[in-house]
Amino acid sequence: MRLRPRLHLLLLVLGAGLAPLAWTESCASQEPDSLTAPPGGPEIEAPQEEVVPSGISPRGAFIRSAILPGWGHARVGAQVRGAFYFAAEATSALMIYKTNTRIDRTRRKLALRESVVTARFEAAGATEEEIEAALEEDAEIEDLRSLEETRTGQREDWIALGLFLMLIGGVDGYVSAHLADFPTAVVIEPNTNGGMEIGLSLPVGF
């Protein structure tokens, strides 16, 4: 399948987003669990990866959110954002399925029309060149080929959107895990003008 420039670019972005995670995993696998002091000195434990109170690390939240939309968010208590990514990626997957169905239907119609035109010209004793020319000049075949190309492009757009949402969901899960223990309170309340006010409170000690 020939990739459109938009899909190709998003695949590169996805690879670039996952590369730091893979590099971190590689470095972690090569580092020792502890640092040994000179002979006679105490053994110094190496710093471990940050784990939020929910028991999941930011890297774990990234992987979970990329595998199953909303999984990492749910583990760190960000259920609303998790539900958003789940709904968005589910919609993207549904549209990919529906577009695939439409492409198959269009291709069946195209194959049927081509077979009808070919059979008619073969019965008239036309040569292969004449049959090919007739297929190219047939208005219905031209419309069906154009429709197939359009719907194939739509499918690639939905695939690109799904990959983009997967990457963004993973990054958002990573950030949510980092902020899971941040003591922040968000208040939403109506104001006197009939609108809504959003307040952010941060406890500060002196």
Is 122 part of a structural domain of the chain? yes
Span between the terminal Cα atoms of the chain, in Å:
62
* Helices and strands in the chain: count of H runs, count of E runs: 6, 4
Domain residues for 124?
A: 54-181
Is 36 part of a structural domain of the chain? no
pTM of the model: 0.59
The predicted structure's pLDDT at residue 56: 74
Cα separations in angstroms, 185 against 69, 80, 155 = 25, 15, 41
If you average pLDDT over every residue of the chain, what do you get?
75
Is 59 part of a structural domain of the chain? yes
Is 110 part of a structural domain of the chain? yes
The predicted structure's pLDDT at residue 79: 84
Is 15 part of a structural domain of the chain? no
Q: What is the pLDDT of residues 10-44, one digit of tens each?
A: 555 555 555 545 444 444 444 444 444 445 545 54
Is 189 part of a structural domain of the chain? no
Determine the Cα–Cα distance for residues 180 and 151; give it in Å rounded to an integer. Answer: 42
Is 2 part of a structural domain of the chain? no
Is 167 part of a structural domain of the chain? yes
To which H or E segment does residue 148 belong? Answer: helix 139-178
Residue labelled with tokens 């020939």: 2
**Domain count along the chain:** 1
Q: What is the pLDDT of residues 55-113, one digit of tens each?
A: 678 888 888 888 888 888 888 888 888 889 899 999 999 999 999 999 999 999 999 99
